[in-house]
Structure 1
């Protein structure tokens, strides 16, 4: 069971790094390559940015659940 959670933790960590690198910074980011540069003129974030935000939050929650589960399973 701990091996499965450890693998899920590693995958979530890699996905979190990728999602954070895709986020748009002050000068633009890698998300511009995938359509993140097209935002509306009303000052709201684009659909790509909102979906990227949601994926980042969901992946962060999965990462946190994996950390807590491993901590509970491996405590002495």
Structure 2
């Protein structure tokens, strides 16, 4: 296997797992996993707290890394070109 392929696959898997985890940490309509884990850290105001803003940023970064690694894999290794 090519080292570039291995690196891109690792990036794809790690960013995909991170994306799932960080999306699950987002609070929905007041009750979410993030509220259950650290309910005392969140404010009860209507605005977004600093922790939720950082969670949004990390989620966006994971999504961008996931999409970029997926696009790079699609361009460099089209369907059927990776030998087993």
Instruction: Confirm or deny a common fold (TM above 0.5).
Output: yes
Which entry has the higher C-alpha Rg, 1 or 2? 2
Instruction: Specify the TM-score bucket, using the shorter chain as the normaliser.
Output: 0.7 to 0.9
TM-score for both structures, normalised by structure 1: 0.87
Deviation digits for residues 29-58 of structure 1 (CA, Å, limit 9, x no counterpart): 1111135762253x2101110000000001
- What runs of 5+ residues in structure 2 fail to find an aligned partner? none
Q: What do you get for the CA RMSD once the two structures are aligned?
A: 1.8
In the alignment of these two chains, the number of paired residues is 75
Where does the alignment leave 5 or more consecutive residues of structure 1 unmatched?
Answer: none
Which structure features the higher share of helix residues? 1
Give runs of ≥4 in structure 1 deviating > 4 Å: none
Task: Please give the TM-score of this superposition, normalised by the length of structure 2.
Answer: 0.79
